Structure 1
């Protein structure tokens, strides 16, 4: 018996895509909120840079589990229930940080945050597109992208400013996020449901992931580029504030949050740039810009220069955004229709492994080499990976979708 297809409301009855994008941004904001605060947690609890990266990395584990287990649940249960569940998980994460008494709460809070982000990523994107009125699907796609990356960037900016200039630096950012989540939950409740089934509901089963043989030739370079690009996002989100404090002698948390914010803004800009070139050309171009960003990051550590680090953040973010959207487009076009969702899930898994595993390696290297040299080793390894991908793409360019 084939799974019943969702029956959607007519397009004319789907207002509210900007509200859905706002909900998306609020949800993703919480996932990066702790970024400028890890140094304060280290002082309060007492742990190494390696533990900081592990605390950060368990978030990606939560995202991957949510994508693999519940990636298509909103197609079965509806958008609103899954969005409300994601908001509840985000609120649970915020409460664990507010009442934190040590590492167990930090780990648990990050895992819940990962579950929340995994549910928000697919469901909120689908909700934004579902609610777009006729003729505005392109704007809605940009709204979803901006909400995702903008929310991720706003998290460290908000917490950095509050931690630097307001009282209760380890509590107030999460209290503010709780208030935003209450407003987001009210918005979700008022959004029209866009998924209605006219047939019996199928059982909920993990969707898993697959890489069909016909897709592997394009999947491998796209996934490696995504792995490398997300590793740069992970570097800034997990350890950039400590790099800035240790190597560049920049201790202002608001400045640290602003630098991380610039990476995600540049990623959004890079994704927008793909509109002017084909995906087949955008992928190697994004790799080249990503290499430039990594060279600047390495130069900033050698020269101990904050302006060069900011330039590296902007170039690295732009290269990540350009190559990521190109990879998503190429894989989505090449994947068979009946396996597209599972194939894209595999692509996102590679990306989120990239955001977690390399930064744990950086954390381990800091124990032996120090923060500066560990950052240089990271930059060198990722440059080699991206250069190899770019070389492969020059010899065997992917077919344009």
Structure 2
């Protein structure tokens, strides 16, 4: 197989990630121009988790039987439909919710099937972690650039509630051209037999290391991202004036950009810590949550940028190191399945901003973030204890 074949599914995975996160900088726009309440805007942000989790699990099972290409084509089509719905639905909370669910389905395909496809096509790479790093980097760049471009278009371009989605639709067409030439990595002899829904079972996810190491760590991956670029802009919004959308965009790009850099450092961190990169990431996560609480008390936009950088670095380290641990437990027949379970768990954390916004009448940002930091520290202790005895 061509050693560069892994590059061909990359544009589609990138575009699917773009379609999942380009909504994030628009939260302020939906509140200010659309008249949506903060809890409604944050609901829309987290709504795509309800498409993403089924998309992760069902798509992985489907692809284990029918191959990576077929499932990825479906994901690309669903993501394009999502952008069409979001472009048309500015005035309808229901339509926006449906669009976000469809966007989640597309991201689910990217994170489970796309990641597995890239990993399988990277089998000849010198580093055993190359596949995990390549897929995580592709996803992170899609998340970051999607948010960055959307924020700029919304701040200065025409049709701020529609143009970003039209751009994504154009990118879907470009990705489809590369996808036409991408080779299938799962040959028929290795595919799951029987009805695809029976392949939803992932025995590797029931192993003790998964339950005691991956499970406590995974939700913090996108909990960190959510705190950095959904909660922090709200904490300092009163200091931003007309630049709230641009500021939220910058925080998103900083979080994901720093995360992308630190993803590349995971092999080095694992090497110098003897396989404890996940502990390093969760330690940074806990520190970042404490800084977020301090930022909520002070309300300083500059400090919020520091929070985004710390949480972004921790996000990047935990994303890759957790995926490496999860995939090391998989058999060839349930690699996509355990990848889907892992990413499903990471995205549970993305509901955190919705929960915090819903609790605002009874619990301030400061109080919520103190509690979050304490829970994060507890999870760090659980992971550290079990990773030592693995």
State the TM-score, normalizing by the size of structure 1.
0.86
Size of the aligned set, in residue pairs, is 384
* Corresponding position of 1:267: 259
Aligned-residue offset at 1:199? 9.1
Aligned-residue offset at 1:46? 2.4
- Secondary structure of 1:190's aligned partner: coil
Aligned-residue offset at 1:196? 3.6
Q: Residues of 2 paired with 1:36 and 1:209: CA distance?
A: 36
* Corresponding position of 1:125: 115
Distance 1:168 1:213, change over 3 A: closer
Q: Residue 288 in 1 paired to residue 283 in 2?
A: yes
Q: Residues of 2 paired with 1:222 and 1:196: CA distance?
A: 29
- Secondary structure of 2:199's aligned partner: coil
Offset from partner CA, 1:95-128 (integer Å, 9 cap, x none):
0111113101110110000111111112222332
Question: In the TM superposition, what are the counterparts of 1:149-168 in structure 2 within 5 Å?
Answer: 149-168=140-159
Q: Residues of 2 paired with 1:152 and 1:329: CA distance?
A: 20
- Among 99, 104, 128, which residue is 1:109 paired with? 99
Q: Residue 197 in 1 paired to residue 191 in 2?
A: no
Question: In the TM superposition, what are the counterparts of 1:80-229 in structure 2 within 5 Å?
Answer: 80-100=69-89, 101-132=91-122, 134-135=124-125, 139-197=130-188, 202-205=194-197, 207-210=199-202, 215-217=207-209, 219-229=211-221
* Corresponding position of 2:322: 327
* Corresponding position of 1:230: 222
Q: Residues of 1 paired with 2:338 and 2:134: CA distance?
A: 24
* Corresponding position of 1:354: 349
- Among 44, 48, 60, which residue is 1:59 paired with? 48
Is the 2:39–2:357 Cα contact (8 Å) retained in structure 1?
yes
Offset from partner CA, 1:344-392 (integer Å, 9 cap, x none):
4433332221211x222111123445xxx32x23321221112112333
Distance 1:47 1:310, change over 3 A: same
More moved, 87-96 vs 234-243: 234-243
Offset from partner CA, 1:256-299 (integer Å, 9 cap, x none):
21211111122223332221233742222211111121222222
Is the 1:65–1:115 Cα contact (8 Å) retained in structure 2?
yes
Distance 1:29 1:240, change over 3 A: farther
Distance 1:322 1:133, change over 3 A: closer
Q: Residues of 1 paired with 2:110 and 2:33: CA distance?
A: 31
Is the 1:63–1:114 Cα contact (8 Å) retained in structure 2?
yes
* Corresponding position of 1:6: none
Aligned-residue offset at 1:132? 3.9
- Secondary structure of 2:184's aligned partner: coil
Distance 1:177 1:71, change over 3 A: same
Q: Residues of 1 paired with 2:303 and 2:186: CA distance?
A: 48
State the TM-score, normalizing by the size of structure 2.
0.88
Aligned-residue offset at 1:334? 4.2
* Corresponding position of 1:4: none
Is the 2:292–2:369 Cα contact (8 Å) retained in structure 1?
yes
Q: Residue 31 in 1 paired to residue 20 in 2?
A: yes
Distance 1:36 1:19, change over 3 A: same
Is the 1:24–1:148 Cα contact (8 Å) retained in structure 2?
yes
* Corresponding position of 2:303: 308
Distance 1:209 1:293, change over 3 A: farther
Aligned-residue offset at 1:59? 0.5
Distance 1:165 1:214, change over 3 A: closer
RMSD in angstroms over aligned alpha carbons?
A: 2.8
- Secondary structure of 1:169's aligned partner: coil
Q: Residues of 1 paired with 2:255 and 2:180: CA distance?
A: 32
Is the 1:50–1:360 Cα contact (8 Å) retained in structure 2?
yes
Q: Residues of 2 paired with 1:228 and 1:129: CA distance?
A: 23
Aligned-residue offset at 1:49? 1.2
Q: Residues of 2 paired with 1:49 and 1:175: CA distance?
A: 25
Aligned-residue offset at 1:236? 3.6
Q: Residues of 2 paired with 1:285 and 1:199: CA distance?
A: 36
